[in-house]
Structure 1
Amino acid sequence: MKYSQAKYFLALIAFTFSPPEIHLYAKEPLQYQEDIRPKLVTFCGDCHSPEDSEHDVKFLQAKNVAEMSQMRSIWNSVAEQLRNRTMPPPDETQPSEAERLGVAEWIDQTLQQTACEQGPFAGSITSRRLNRTEYTNTIRDLLGVRTEAAVRFPVDGSGGEGFDNNGETLFLPPILMERYLEAAEEILDVALPSPSIKITIPANQLLPPDKNSDSATRILEPKKSLRLVPRIYSAGQHFVRVRAQPVEKSTTLTFKVDGIVVERFAIDGKPKFEGDFPVNYDTSIQLSRGFHTLEIRCTGEENASVTFLHFKQNDKELNQDQLRVYEKLTGTSPGKIPENPRSVAIQKLKAFISQAFRRPAVSTEVDKFMSLYDRAAKRDDPHVEALKLAFKGVLVSSPFLFRVESLPESQSLEPISDFELASRLSYFLWGSLPDDELFELSAERHLNEDTILKEQVDRMLNDSRADYFIDEFVGQWLGTRDIGGRVAPDTSKFKGEFTTELLLGFREEPNQLFAYLLQNNHSLMELITADYVIVNKRLRKHYGFDEEEKSDKQDWPWSPNPQLSKDGPFEKVAVTNGQRGGVLGMGGVHLLTSYPNRTSPVLRGGWILETLLGIRVPNPPPDIPELSKSKKGKMTIREQLAMHRDHPSCSACHNLIDPPGFALDHFDVLGRWQEEQEGKPIDATATFPSGETVDGLEGLKTIMVQRKPEFYRQLTRKMLGFALGRSLDDRDDCVINQITEDILNNDDSLRNLIKSVVLSTPFRNRQLSPDEASNATE
C-alpha cells in the first residue's frame, strides 16, 4: 500500500503526541515488504542488495522483520545513516525528508519491538577509569581526605547516554598519570602527616665538614658557606633559626634554599640579651617533599661566628576523625612506632589494598607493595613514611584507578561476582567504593540475593553519600549541571537581573525535587505534574511567590551547595496559579533551552523531545533557506517559524518540535513569567500533530501525562545507562521495556525504578559481545 510523503511521516509524528490508546501504524501499518523495503531498494539497492558483489553490507537480503532482527547492528546503522543524511551518497538519488525520517523511525521502532526475541542480554562492561568525581569520593572514603586534587585532572568527556562515567570515554592520557602521582603524594601527606622534624645541628656538623676543629662553633669567612641537606617528608611551612655573631665587626649572612635567596641577616654584634651571647636570626620557608639544600653564606666583608642551625617543621594537629584514620592505616599513633613495624605494615597494607581494589587482596599484590615499604625502611625512613610509599603505589595502580571486572568466557550470560556487584552498586548510588557492610555481604556471597539487594538500595539511598547520585544523574540527564558554566544568560542584556546565586539555585532546584520524590516515595510523574515547587528564598522571590505563602519547612535529605546557605533552606511551596511545578516550570530549564539573549521554541521543543521523551531530533537538512533579515525584524519568532514550516524540508521536523516549545512561551530566558513580549500579548497555544491544541504550561503537562509510557521509558533508559556506565544499544531495549512496563503497571516511585535497574539482567550479569568473542577465539 502506498502513501503520500505527508501521510507517511505524519503517521509517525502523530504517534508522539497522541493519546496512549492510539498505536503506531494502527490505521495504516507500514509493512516491511510492501512499504519499507521497496523504498530502500530504490535508494540503496545499487550497493546493498544481495546481488551486489562489490560491497559487503547487504542489509537488503533481509526479506522480513525476523531476518532484520538477525542483523540488528547493521540495521541500526542504516537508521542512523538515514537520519544523519550520510546515506545515500550525495551523487545518488535522495529520498525526501519525510521518506528519510519515516524509514529511520520505522527501523528504530521495529528493532525495539523485537528486542526480546534475541533472549536475555547483559552486554560487556569496559574496564573504566574512575572519573574525577568518583576519584574524589573514593579518596574521601578510603583515606578520610576531602581533596580538590581532581580539579587538576583533564575534564571527563561524556558518552553513551550522556554521562561522564561512560567507560568508552574514560581513557588514560599520559598527563593524567603525572597528575595521579602528584595527587597521591599530596593526599597521603594530608591523611598521614609525617613525623615532625625538629633538629638542631651544631655548626661543626654542617657541610663541608671541618676536620681541624673540635669546637661546635664555626668561623665563616666571606664568600664561604655552610650547608644542610635535610629530607622533607611532607610539604609545608618550616621554621629556621641561625645562631651567629660577628667575630670583630658587623657582617652579613645570606640564607638560601636550593640556591635561591630567602633572607639576609645583618650580623651587627648587638645581642638581644645582655652579655656576650650570640643572636638568633629566624625565618620561615615553604618546602616541598624531597631533599633540599639549606645554605648559610657569608656575603659581608667580615667573618661571622656560627653556633648552630635549628630546623623545625610546623606541627600539624589532627582532629579525632583524622586520628582515627591515622591509627587505622598505620597501626599506631602519630610520632610512635609499633613494636614490630614490618608485621604491622603487612597487616595494614593488606587491608588497604582490599578496600582500594574493592575486593580481597591476594598475596602477590601484598608482596609487590611491601617491597616499596622495605625499600623505604632500608634507607631508614620512618615507619609512616615507608607505609606512605607503599600506599602511594596502590593509589597509582590500575586496580585502584580502574574499575576492573573479570572477562566473561562466552556470549552466554555469566553472573558477576558479589564483590563486582558491590562495586557496581556503590559507584551507581554513591560514586565511591563499597563500605564495610557491602564488603561483608559480598564475602558471605549474600549480596546477589533479591531481598538483600533491595534492602541495600534502601540503606544506601538513605545515606548522605547518595547526594552523588542525585547531583550527577539529574544534572547530566537534564543538562542543568552546565548552568553557570557553559550555560549562562547574556550579561549585557540581563545585567543586574541575575546573580551567581540565582544560577546556582537554578542548578539546585531539580536536584531538590528529585530528592523529595526519593525521600517520600512519590510517583515519577511528579517530575512533570508537581503542583508545588521546592525553592529557597532567592528562587521564591524570582518566581514571584508571596513571602507569606505557606511552605513546608521539613528537613530535606539533600544538602544544597554551601554557596546557597545565605538564601535560606529549600522549602516546598504550593503552586495555585498553574505557572510553575515540575521540571518544565523551572527557571534553570528555561535558561538551558534558550539562547543567551532570547528564548527559542525550537531549543525548548527539541529538549523536551530528546531529554524527556527520548525522540531523536535530526539535524536540519543542508538546503534550509534563510529567512529574509528585513522580515525577521518585523515578525515574531512564531511567525518566522510558520514560514519555516512552509518549506517541505523543514515542515516534517518543525511540526514535531515547535508545539511543545510554543507552550513554554510565557517564560523568558531567566524563567520569569511574562504576559507580554515587546508590547504584544504572549500566545502560548500549541497545536500538536494529533490535532490537539493546548495553552501554556498546564496544557503541555496534560500532553506529557498522555505520553507517560515514553517518559518512563526514557527515564529508565537514562538510569540504566548511568548505572552501567556504558553505551546502550538496541539489545538493551528488552530490559528497558520490561522495567518500563513494571513501573507503569505497579509501583512507579523513583525507589522502585532504581531497584528495578539494580535487579536487572545487565546490572547483575555480563557476557562477551560478538566482536569480543571473535577476538577471543583468534
Structure 2
Amino acid sequence: MIRILSTICLIISICFALSEQSAAQDLQHGFAIKAQPFLENYCTGCHGKADEFPEANFALGEFDSLEKVLIDREMWKKALDEIDSMNMPPEESDKPSAKERHDMMVWIDDVLAAPGKSGVRDPGDPVLRRLNRLEYNNTIRDLFDLDKDIYPFPERVPLRSRDYFQPAKDKMPDGVSLSWSENGTVNPFLRNGGIPGDNKAEHGFSNRGDVLNVSSLLLEKYMTLAARIVEHPELPKQSKRFKQLIDSPSAGSERDVARQRLQFFMNGAFRRPVENEEVDLYMQLYDHAIGQGNGFEDAMKKALTGVLTSPSFLFFIEPSGMTADPVRPLDDFELASRLSYFLWSSMPDQKLFEAAASGKLQTESGIEAEVRRMLDDPNSIELAESFAVQWLDLNTLISVRPDRKAFRNFYRGEKATLTMPYMIEALLLFETVLAEDRSVVDLIDPGFTYVDEWIAEVYGLKDELHAAYPEQFGEDAKKLEKKRKWGKAPSFFRLKLPDGRRGGVLGMGATLTLTSFPERTSPVKRGAWVLETVFNRPPPPPLPNAGEIKDVEDPSLTLREKLASHRDNPACAGCHNRMDPLGFALENYDGMGRWREKDGKQQIDSSGTLLDGRSFDGPAEFRRLVTERREIFVRGFVEKLLSYALGRQLEYYDAATVREIMEAARKEDYRFSTIVIEITKSYPFRNIRNVESEQI
C-alpha cells in the first residue's frame, strides 16, 4: 500500500513538473511568435531602448528575451492596461488587428500569472492596519449589541431606519419607507467626539493601510473615546450585554467571574480565541482597580477600557515570517475577520466564529456557505454604505452645492437639498443588485430606478410615478405625506423607466451633479469620472505643460467647441481623446442631472466615438455600448471590489486573480453573489506573502 501511494505521489510530482515546463515553453513560444512581432510593429518605434530616449520613459525595446520580461512584470501590467484601453498604439499610428491585440493581451496575462522564482504566485502583503472610522463604530456597536451609531458620521446617509433592507427575501420592496435627518446625524450614542475622518486612497478606499495614518495624537483619542464609551451612564441601560459584563456576580469568586467575563469579551474584541497570558495582562487592570478600593463594576470598566485600547482590537494584524514558506494560508479566524469586514464592515458574528472554530472556512464550500448567509443578512447593507459610497464618490456629494440661481430646483427652503434623495437613489440601486442578486451590469442599465416625488419632478417623471402608484398619490396624499416625513409610509418608489434617458450610475442625479461645476456641466470631469469609476482606468494627471482649460466667452460657441482648442494641444490630446467623448455622452444632463436638449441657445451634441471605433449618439446609445462589451465594465468593478476586499492596492500579480474571477462570473452573467464568492475563494484573499516580495 505504501509503495502504491509513493508511486502515485511520484506521478503527481512528475505531472506538476511537466505542467510547469509546458507553461514555460508556451510563454517562450508566445514571446517569439506573438510578443516580439507585436512590439516591433506597433511599440518600439516610440518605446525603444532606454538609450534611445523612449516616449514616457517606457523602454519596451529592452525586452529582447522572456527572462527580461519576467524580471519586470510590473511594466508589462502597465503595457497591458494601455493596450486593453486602446490608448496605445496612439491614434495616428498603425493599429493591430483585433486578433493581434487579443493574442498579445492573453500572452501578457499568462506572463503576469506565471509563478515567481519560488515556484508560487505572490498573494500580496499581509494586512497590518487600524480599523477605519466606520469599522471602529460598527465593531463597538456590535460588541455591545447597540442599535445605533457610536458617534456622528457626517459622511454617512443619516437614515432613521434601514429595516427595509431584507436581502433574504430576494426582493427589494417597490415602496421604501425612509426618513433622514437634515442635520446629518441620527441620535448617535455620543453626541459629539469620535475619531477624525479617514483619508481615502487615490483611486481607492479608506480601508487601506497605506492611508490609515497612526499618530500618538490619534492613539490618545482612541484611549479617551474608549473611556467615554465604557464610563457613559447610558451604556448599561442601552446595552444588556454590557450590563451583564459589569454587574456584580450573585455567587462565586468575583475575580473568577471577572476573568471569565473578560475572556469572553476579549474573544469578540480581538476576533479570535485569546491566550491565557493575554487575559492575565488585562486582569492586571482589574486587580489594580480593586487594590485602589474600587468595586467590581468600576474594576471591570477599567479592564474593558484597556481591551478597547489594545492593538489587538484597534488593528488588523496578520503575522508573517513565522515559517520559511514563501506563502502562508490564513487561519480560520483571520479568514473570518476578512469576511466580516469585507461584507459587514464589522466583527464576525457568533455563527461566523463557530464556522471558524470548526475549520469550515478552510474549504471553498465552507466559505461559500458563510458568504451566502452573510449576504442574506441585513448587515450586508454596510457593503453599500461603505464600498458603494466610496466607489461612486457619493461622499463628495455632501459638499457639492450647485449654483442657486442656475439650479433652483436643487434647493427647497433654507436647508433641504437634493443631496440626500440623490444619494439614496444611488444606494437603493446598489442594494437592489445585492439583495436580488442581479447581474452587476444592471448598475449601468437596470431599466428602473427609485425616486421620491422631488426626484421624479426633476427627472420629468412625476406623471409616471403617480400613474404607477395611484394609491399613494390620490385622495389620501396629504395624510401620507406627513407619514412619509417620519418614515411611516413609503417615500421612494421603484419606477420602470419609460425611455432610455435614465438608468444606472451614468444617468442618475447624484453622479451627474458631483461631476459638474457649480454653474455648469463639465465633460472633462464627467469623462474622467467614467474612466476612473466605471472602467477603473483613471487618466494620468495633467502634464506640467498642459495648461488650463480657459473659459471662452463667445456665446455662439457650444461647450464642445470651447473645449476643442484645448484638445488641439498635443500635450493634452491623448488624455482628452479618451475622456471627452465619455463626458460629452452625458451632456444632455445639466449640472444637477435634469434632461435638456439645449445648452442656452445651443443644441446639445452628445454624440461621440470610442477609442475602439464604436460610435454613439446620446446617453442611451452610450449605455448600450457599455453593456454590449460588458466585460470591460465588469473587469473594472471586479478590480475595485477585490481591492476593497483585500484592503490594498492591486498589483501586477493580481491580474491572474481578476481573470479567474471574471471567467467564473461570466458563466453566471456576472451575478453579484458570484463575484463576491469568487473574491472570497481567491488566492490572495485566503493567503498572504510570508517573505519579502523579492523572494517570491
TM range (shorter): 0.7 to 0.9
Report if the CA contact (8 A) 1:416-1:765 is conserved: yes
**Aligned residue in 1 for 2:213:** 171
Counterpart residue type for residue 143 of structure 1? F
Give yes or no for the alignment of 1:158 onto 2:200: yes
**Aligned residue in 2 for 1:343:** 256
Deviation, 1:612, is 1.0
Which has the higher Rg, Structure 1 or Structure 2? Answer: 1
Moved more, 161-170 or 631-640: 631-640
Deviation, 1:652, is 2.9
With normalisation by structure 2, the TM-score equals: 0.77
Report if the CA contact (8 A) 1:123-1:769 is conserved: no
2-side partners of 1:635 and 1:29: how far apart? 47
Structure 1 residues 591 and 422: CA distance shift in structure 2, 3 A: same
2-side partners of 1:109 and 1:175: how far apart? 49
Q: Deviations over 1:561-589 (max 9, x none)?
A: x9984994322101112211111110011
Report if the CA contact (8 A) 2:254-2:296 is conserved: yes
2-side partners of 1:161 and 1:629: how far apart? 28
Which of 323, 335, 355 aligns to 2:240? It is: 323
Deviation, 1:511, is 1.3
Give yes or no for the alignment of 1:548 onto 2:466: yes
Counterpart residue type for residue 754 of structure 1? V
1-side partners of 2:34 and 2:67: how far apart? 23
Question: Helix, strand or coil for the counterpart of 1:420?
Answer: helix
Structure 1 residues 630 and 154: CA distance shift in structure 2, 3 A: closer
**Aligned residue in 1 for 2:169:** none
Report if the CA contact (8 A) 1:161-1:721 is conserved: no
**Aligned residue in 2 for 1:115:** 112
Which of 500, 509, 518 aligns to 2:434? It is: 518
Structure 1 residues 650 and 159: CA distance shift in structure 2, 3 A: closer
Trace 1:162-561 onto structure 2 (pairs within 5 A). Answer: 162-190=204-232, 193=233, 319=237, 322-327=239-244, 329-330=245-246, 332=248, 338-408=251-321, 409-410=323-324, 412-485=326-399, 487-491=400-404, 493-495=406-408, 497-499=410-412, 500-545=416-461, 546=463, 547-550=465-468
CA RMSD of aligned residues (A): 3.6
Give yes or no for the alignment of 1:608 onto 2:530: yes
Structure 1 residues 628 and 162: CA distance shift in structure 2, 3 A: closer
Q: Deviations over 1:143-201 (max 9, x none)?
A: 234411695422211227510000121131111111111111111123xx4xxxxxxxx
2-side partners of 1:323 and 1:430: how far apart? 22
**Aligned residue in 1 for 2:561:** 639
Q: Deviations over 1:594-645 (max 9, x none)?
A: 1121101121122112211122312333444667766654421111233333
Structure 1 residues 174 and 98: CA distance shift in structure 2, 3 A: farther
Deviation, 1:503, is 0.5
Deviation, 1:33, is 4.5
Deviation, 1:452, is 2.1
Question: Helix, strand or coil for the counterpart of 1:414?
Answer: strand
Report if the CA contact (8 A) 1:663-1:700 is conserved: yes
Moved more, 514-523 or 154-163: 154-163
Question: Helix, strand or coil for the counterpart of 1:40?
Answer: coil
Structure 1 residues 361 and 627: CA distance shift in structure 2, 3 A: closer
Structure 1 residues 678 and 731: CA distance shift in structure 2, 3 A: same
Q: Deviations over 1:192-251 (max 9, x none)?
A: x4xxxxxxxxxxxxxxxxxxxxxxxxxxxxxxxxxxxxxxxxxxxxxxxxxxxxxxxxxx
1-side partners of 2:550 and 2:353: how far apart? 66
Counterpart residue type for residue 344 of structure 1? V
Counterpart residue type for residue 548 of structure 1? H
Report if the CA contact (8 A) 1:330-1:387 is conserved: yes
Structure 1 residues 567 and 490: CA distance shift in structure 2, 3 A: farther
2-side partners of 1:700 and 1:769: how far apart? 46
Structure 1 residues 666 and 33: CA distance shift in structure 2, 3 A: closer
Deviation, 1:34, is 5.2
Q: Deviations over 1:410-442 (max 9, x none)?
A: 563321000000000000011111111111111
2-side partners of 1:707 and 1:641: how far apart? 29
Give yes or no for the alignment of 1:746 onto 2:668: yes
Moved more, 683-692 or 382-391: 683-692
Give yes or no for the alignment of 1:36 onto 2:37: no
Q: Whose relative contact order is higher, 1 or 2, with alpha carbons under 8 Å and at least 6 apart? A: 2
Give yes or no for the alignment of 1:127 onto 2:128: yes
Report if the CA contact (8 A) 1:137-1:432 is conserved: yes
Q: Which runs of 5+ in 2 are unaligned?
A: 1-32, 83-88, 152-189, 473-483
Structure 1 residues 425 and 397: CA distance shift in structure 2, 3 A: same
Percent sequence identity over matched residues? 33
Deviation, 1:406, is 2.0
With normalisation by structure 1, the TM-score equals: 0.69
Moved more, 112-121 or 135-144: 112-121
Which of 565, 568, 571 aligns to 2:493? It is: 571
Q: Deviations over 1:696-746 (max 9, x none)?
A: 121011110133111111110001000010111110000001111221233
Bigger strand share: 1
1-side partners of 2:388 and 2:123: how far apart? 25
Counterpart residue type for residue 230 of structure 2? L
2-side partners of 1:492 and 1:768: how far apart? 59
Report if the CA contact (8 A) 2:247-2:297 is conserved: no
2-side partners of 1:175 and 1:628: how far apart? 43
Deviation, 1:651, is 3.1
Report if the CA contact (8 A) 2:126-2:319 is conserved: no
Question: Helix, strand or coil for the counterpart of 2:449?
Answer: strand
2-side partners of 1:136 and 1:654: how far apart? 42
**Aligned residue in 1 for 2:580:** 658
2-side partners of 1:735 and 1:552: how far apart? 49
1-side partners of 2:436 and 2:555: how far apart? 50
1-side partners of 2:551 and 2:260: how far apart? 75
Which of 700, 704, 708 aligns to 2:626? It is: 704
**Aligned residue in 1 for 2:517:** 595
2-side partners of 1:448 and 1:372: how far apart? 37
Moved more, 565-574 or 752-761: 565-574
1-side partners of 2:455 and 2:295: how far apart? 55
Counterpart residue type for residue 723 of structure 1? A
Report if the CA contact (8 A) 1:457-1:755 is conserved: yes
Moved more, 36-45 or 448-457: 36-45
Moved more, 464-473 or 422-431: 464-473
Deviation, 1:76, is 6.0
Counterpart residue type for residue 468 of structure 2? K
Moved more, 729-738 or 153-162: 153-162
**Aligned residue in 2 for 1:759:** 681
Q: Which runs of 5+ in 1 are unaligned?
A: 1-25, 49-56, 82-94, 194-315, 555-561
2-side partners of 1:536 and 1:570: how far apart? 5
Structure 1 residues 690 and 62: CA distance shift in structure 2, 3 A: closer
2-side partners of 1:28 and 1:528: how far apart? 35
Question: Helix, strand or coil for the counterpart of 1:621?
Answer: coil
Report if the CA contact (8 A) 2:44-2:60 is conserved: no
Question: Helix, strand or coil for the counterpart of 1:548?
Answer: helix
